Amino acid sequence: MANSGGNSYIAHMKKVFFFFINFSICMHLNAGSYKVIYGENNRFEPNEIENSEIVHASKSVAAIISNYSLKKIGDQTEIVSLNLGDTINYCASVPYQEQTVAASCSSFLIAPDIILTAGHCIKTEWECNSKSFVFDYRQDLLGKKEGPYKRFRIPNSNIYKCSKILDRKLESDGNLEDWAIIKLDRIVKDREPLNYRKYGKMDTNSKLSLIGFPSGLPLKIAEKGKIRNDENEHYFVAELDAFHMNSGSPVINESTLEVEGVLVRGEKDVVNTLGCYDLVVCKEGTCRGEDVSRITTIPFEKYIY
């Protein structure tokens, strides 16, 4: 949990976030930090989405947040975090700068007490014990900032702990598998596990939605994604408007409403434009695409009973 005021922690967060962004820009890492916009920016708040079934599915997507950013106050928990615009010098055109950034990764419910995420999001038992899974981390549900430090508060009932890493894989070569199966500390009773593909592959013309927490922001839904390459057995490549901290997000087929995979890797998402950092925008068919671990190759079903 965060310390009483959290001010020293906030200052430390700002330094760490600034270092992380600069390091990511300068180094072409192979991990899942990089994502990008393809064509137009198709990220939306859940209450801006017309597809009610996709919005309903978003209720089962949880932010992974460090326990140091969560300060329990009675039956609520205060979120200790920066706003996006306070992390680095973004260009004025970058959206959501006034929103808080608390999430370190995304995840989603696949059984009443089992969460699925990217393997690089939860690597060790220490990370399992030091992070929480938070539902309804949404801008339209956060309400007003409260208390002496003017911070958002969320119900304790929306926060779940990592009980155990049931299974996990993270490969830097070969099949590039990247997934983690997490058992929660209790059953989630107020929302449903997501439906998922059981076998086979989707139609190559399928439209995809990405649900998660880009840049650590409250939940966003990116629509109108499409498949670029569907040949690899363990992952497919798609054009999705994704960013760091989107790792672990479910990629949902807009027609079948089934999870097709877990977002794990992608293109570099910000660029220094001589004075400020702007979002990388790729024309359709350009840049590397975003890698999505296939749901059909992740062995989580043996843990569901």
Q: What is the pLDDT of residues 142-180, one digit of tens each?
A: 999 999 999 999 999 999 999 999 999 999 998 999 999
Q: Which structural domain range is residue 221 located in? A: 7-299
Lowest mean pLDDT among 29-38, 45-54, 72-81, 220-229: 29-38
Q: Assess whether pLDDT exceeds 90 at residue 245.
A: yes
Q: Measure the CA angle with vertex 158, ends 76 and 67; round to 5°.
A: 70
Distance CA 288, CA 271 (A): 16
Question: Cα-Cα-Cα-Cα dihedral of 145, 130, 214, 190, to 10°?
Answer: -70
DSSP type of residue 151: B
The answer as to whether 192 is a domain residue is: yes
Distance CA 38, CA 224 (A): 10
The answer as to whether 304 is a domain residue is: no
The answer as to whether 305 is a domain residue is: no
Q: What is the pLDDT of residues 99-150, one digit of tens each?
A: 999 999 999 999 999 999 999 999 999 999 999 999 999 999 999 999 999 9
Please classify residue 243 by burial: count the beta carbons closer than 10 Å to its beta carbon, then call 0-12 exposed, 13-18 middle and 19+ buried. buried
The answer as to whether 171 is a domain residue is: yes
The answer as to whether 108 is a domain residue is: yes
pTM given for the model: 0.89
Question: Is the separation of the CB atoms in 143 and 86 below 8 Å?
Answer: no
Distance CA 185, CA 204 (A): 38
Distance CA 111, CA 109 (A): 6
Mean residue pLDDT of the chain comes to: 90
Q: What is the pLDDT of residues 269-298, one digit of tens each?
A: 899 988 999 999 998 888 999 999 999 999
Distance CA 33, CA 247 (A): 7
Q: Quick one: the chain helix, strand, coil %, rounded to 5?
A: 20, 35, 45
The answer as to whether 253 is a domain residue is: yes
Burial readout 113-148 (b: 16 or more C-beta within 10 A, e: otherwise): bbbbbbbbbbeeeebbeebbbbbbbbbebbeeeeee
> Euclidean distance between the first and final Cα of the chain, in Å?
33
pLDDT at 36: 75
pLDDT at 35: 55
Question: Cα-Cα-Cα-Cα dihedral of 16, 22, 28, 30, to 10°?
Answer: 20
Largest CA distance in the chain: 55
Distance CA 276, CA 296 (A): 41
Q: What percent of the chain has pLDDT over 70?
A: 89
Distance CA 67, CA 180 (A): 19
Question: Is the separation of the CB atoms in 177 and 171 below 8 Å?
Answer: yes
The answer as to whether 1 is a domain residue is: no
The answer as to whether 2 is a domain residue is: no
Encoded amino acid at 265, one letter: R
Domain with residue 249: its CATH number is 2.40.10.120
Number of domains present in the structure of the chain: 1
